[in-house]
Amino acid sequence: MIITVTGTPGTGKTTISEALDLPVIHLTEFVKERGLGEQKEEFEVDIDAMIQALEEEVEKYDEVVIEGHLSHYYPADICFVLRCDPEVLDERLEEREYSETKVRENLESEALDIVLSQAVENQDIVVEIDTTDLSVEEVVDEIEEKIDEWPELESEYGQVDWSSWL
């Protein structure tokens, strides 16, 4: 089983993925270690090269979690899109010392459902989870419940709307 955990930076992808009892491929580290992109103002990932490299890596596992804000481009059995209220996300990104421009871009991306839209476009089963007021344990429990429902699981998204933040 291949599970992807995606979302805007700061939504909890790494924390949640590490709390699951499964091997994890951290996509940011993976693409940088393998030089699957080009360093410009930011590191720009070659999506096709990333997918090809992941295909070889994923074969090593029976079950694996691929976490990262581009993981939704890799075909998965279930794609979890983590969401977070832009007000809370703003605090998290400022704590990471993101530039004001980068914070704004990510908050707008979250409010406009950019990652969710991309996931829906690229995945068969997408489950959206609002992590804003949930503990790590609660999010992990929700993910594990959905994994247990597979392969009968159907997509669940569209309940989160941050557009009023704009």
Q: Mind listing the pLDDT tens digit for each residue in 48-63?
A: 999 999 999 999 999 9
- φ/ψ (deg, to 5) at 2: -110, 125
The residues facing 127 across adjacent strands are 80, 156
- The pTM of the full predicted model, rounded to 2 decimals, is 0.96
| Residue range 98-153, pLDDT digits in tens | 999 999 999 999 999 999 999 999 999 999 999 999 999 999 999 999 999 999 99
**Which pLDDT band holds residue 39 (cuts at 50, 70, 90)?**
confident
Do you know the residue count of the chain? 166
Q: Is the peptide bond between 151 and the residue preceding it cis, with omega within 30 degrees of 0?
A: yes
Domains with residue ranges and CATH for the chain: 2-157 (3.40.50.300)
Instruction: Label residue 15 exposed, middle or buried (CB < 10 Å: 0-12, 13-18, 19+).
Output: middle
User: How close are the terminal C-alpha atoms of the chain, in Å?
Assistant: 37
Residue 56 in tokens: 């070889």
Which among 125, 133, 137, 119 has a CA at the least distance from the CA of 16? 137
Which among 22, 21, 4 has a CA at the least distance from the CA of 13? 4
Separation CA 30–CA 53 (nearest Å) = 9
Considering only CA atoms, give the Rg of the chain.
15
Biggest CA–CA distance in the chain, Å, is: 44
110 near 8, Cβ under 8 Å? yes
